[in-house]
Amino acid sequence: MSTPTSNIQNGFIDWEALEQFIKTSLSLDDEKMIVKPFSEGYSNLTFSVKIGDWEGVLRRPPYGEVPKKAHDMKREYTILEKLHPHFELAPKALLFSEGNNIMDKHFYVMEKKQGVVIDAEIPMIEGAKSIEQEISQSLVDTFITLQQVDYEKAGLQSIGRPEGFLERQVNGWINRYALSATDEIRAIKEVESWLLKHIPTTTETTIVHNDFKLNNLVFATDAPVRINGVLDWELATIGDPLSDLGSTLAYWMEKDDLNLGIHSVTHKPGFYSRREFVEAYAAASKRDVSEMHYYLSFGFYKLTVILQQIYYRWKNGSAQDDRFKNLNIAAANLIEMAHLAKEKRLL
C-alpha cells in the first residue's frame, strides 16, 4: 500500500484500517490502495485515494487543536449528499465515518472530479493565444448557476438561517478573530467598527459557498475553460449572494495587491480585474452591486480571520507547519486591503 506516513504528531491515520473500510463499504476489488496528499491549502487535509480503477477523495480536519464548530466534515458530507443531484459540479458524497479506530478525527470520502486545478500555472491549449478571459467568465457563469439552485427543493434549508444572516456573519467573524488574536494589527478596530455600522440590507437569499475561488474549481483537461467540479464546501450556508461574491473577490488577486498569504494566477495579464468580474456578474445576474465595496471589505476581513486562526495554532504550537509562520504578515495586509475596499479604492 502506497500511503503517506501515519506517524504524525497531534494526529493519526491508520491507513490499513482506512483501506479495508473503503473496500468493504464500496465493494471494491482487493487491490492495493494508493494515497497522495494534495499539498495546497491551509485548512482541511485532503487526499487522493486510488484502488484499482476506482478513485476518490478523502477529507478530514487538520491535525491538532481546531476551533470549535470548525472543520465539520459531517456537515460538509451532508451538503454534498443533498446538493449533488441539483448541482452536478458538486462531488458526489460516498462515505462518512466518525473516525473510530481509523483516524483521530471524523472524515468523509467523495468522488474525484477529473480535470486540472488552476493554481500556479495556466493550462495551455493548442491554437489558443489566451484563455484567461474565458476562464474568468466561466467562473462567473458557474458561480451564478450555483446561486440559481433552489436550496429548499434540495433540502438544504437547515444549513443556514437567512434572516439576520449578514449581521450574524459580521459579528461571528469578529468574535472569531478576538479568540485567535495574537500580534496587534493596525486599523483592524476601525474596519470592524465600519463593518458593524454599515451592514447592507439583504434582499435575496441563495446557497453561499463561501470559498468559491479559482483553485477550488476543477477544469476539464481537454478544454480548460470548462469547469468540471466545484470543491471545498466546508463553509457553505444559505444567505446573501453578494457576500459570496465578496469572498470570491478577496481571493481574486490583482498585480498590485499586497502579500495576502494565498496563491492565485488571476494577477496575470488577461484575467478579469475585480471590477470587470463584478461587471460581468452584474450583467448576468441582474443584481444590484452598488454596495460591493462593503462585501469586498468583509471578504478580506473573513480571509484575515481564516489565516489568523491558522497562525494562532502555529504560534501556540498545536500546528507546526512552517508555511504558517508568516501568516501574521498576510493577516495585517488583508486588513489593509479591507480598509482600501471600504474606502471604495479597489472597485
Assign 5 a pLDDT band (cuts: 50, 70, 90): very low
Write out pLDDT tens, residues 176-201: 999 999 999 999 999 999 999 999 99
In this structure, what C-alpha cell is assigned to residue 273? 480585474
The predicted model gives 4-12 an average pLDDT of 56
Beta bridge partners of 97: 107
Q: CA-CA-CA-CA torsion for 238, 239, 241, 246, nearest 10 degrees?
A: -110
Tell me what percent of the residues of the chain surpass a pLDDT of 70: 92
Assign 7 a pLDDT band (cuts: 50, 70, 90): very low
Beta bridge partners of 51: 33, 54
Write out pLDDT tens, residues 38-80: 855 557 899 999 999 999 999 998 876 665 666 789 999 999 9
DSSP string, 251-291: HS--TT----S---STTSTTSPPHHHHHHHHHHHH----TT
Strand arrangement, sheet containing 33-37: 33-37, 45-51, 54-60, 107-111, 93-97
CA distance 122 to 136: 12
Question: Domains of the chain by range and CATH?
Answer: 7-111 (3.30.200.20), 132-342 (3.90.1200.10)
CA distance 145 to 124: 26
Nearest Cα neighbor of 214 from 173, 238, 247, 260 is 247
- The per-residue pLDDT for 319 is 77
12: enclosing H helix or E strand: strand 11-12
